[in-house]
């Protein structure tokens, strides 16, 4: 083990609380970043970056109807409203 590493012991409830706190912080950062966009459409790459998922996940969500893509020529975009609604689920 490296000198600056530590082992943290905690019970299941503390672990779950810590994970929920991290997820809440992450969600708040995403919502803040999305609110700055002023309803500009997202590309697949932008959505995957904001949600921290792969572009293939975005494609799968589009096929499953979780996100509704907007096609402009050969390009695919997502409405910021749809992305925001996904976060509110």
Mean pLDDT of 55-74: 94
How far apart are alpha carbons 40 and 34 in whole angstroms? 9
What pLDDT digit, counting tens, does each position of 9-57 carry?
889 999 999 999 998 888 888 777 766 666 788 899 999 998 889 999 9
Burial class (CB in 10 A: 0-12, 13-18, 19+), 64: exposed
Q: Is the pLDDT reported for residue 5 higher than 70? A: yes
pTM for this model (two decimals): 0.58
pLDDT for residue 66: 92
* Half-sphere exposure for 46 (CA within 13 Å, toward CB): 13
Domain boundaries, the chain: 39-89
Sheet with 69-72: strands ordered across: 42-43, 75-78, 69-72
Structure confidence at residue 69 as a pLDDT band (50, 70, 90): very high
Look at residues 57, 51, 52 and name the one whose alpha carbon lies nearest to residue 89: 51
């Amino acid at each position: 083990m490296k000198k600056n590493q530590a082992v943290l012991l905690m019970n299941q409830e503390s672990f779950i609380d810590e994970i929920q706190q991290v997820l809440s912080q992450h969600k708040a950062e995403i919502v803040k970043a999305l609110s700055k966009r002023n309803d500009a459409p997202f590309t697949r790459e932008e959505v995957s970056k904001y949600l921290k998922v792969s572009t293939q996940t975005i494609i799968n969500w589009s096929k499953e109807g979780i996100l509704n893509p907007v096609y402009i020529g050969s390009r695919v975009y997502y409405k910021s409203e749809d992305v925001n609604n996904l976060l509110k689920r």
